[in-house]
Amino acid sequence: MSAYSASKAGVIALTKAMGKELATSGVLVNCIAPAALNTEMATNAEPALVKVMIDKSPMQRLGTAEECAALVCWLACPEMSFSTGACFDLSGGREVY
């Protein structure tokens, strides 16, 4: 998990740095930190591992690709023009960064 955690932290730090560097350029830089999503990867995982992921979620379920896509669309809409350098949590209440 250390490599996974370090790489996720790196993406968040890069997002924050680039958000500042590009703030006046018209380019917005944000990232999403999802917890486990109900994707093909989860479907192919051992049931015991999926149960652990669900048990760790305050919402007691996996997220969906559609929920992730909705957040991406929201971040890309013109009304989000004042958000840059932010990390958006998509974890059902369980921060994973």
pLDDT confidence band for 96 (50 / 70 / 90): low
Residue pLDDT, tens place only, 6-60: 999 999 999 999 999 999 999 999 999 998 999 999 999 999 999 999 999 999 9
Angstrom distance (rounded) from CA 86 to CA 4: 20
* Residue of 3, 4, 66, 78 marked catalytic: 4
User: What does DSSP assign to residue 93?
Assistant: T
Angstrom distance (rounded) from CA 89 to CA 69: 13
Q: Is 97 a catalytic residue?
A: no
Angstrom distance (rounded) from CA 74 to CA 80: 7
Under CATH, which number does the domain 2-90 receive?
3.40.50.720
For the chain, the structural domain boundaries read 2-90
**pLDDT in the model for residue 1:** 74
**pLDDT in the model for residue 94:** 85
Residue 97 has pLDDT above 70, yes or no: no
**If you average pLDDT over residues 57-78, what whole number do you get?**
96
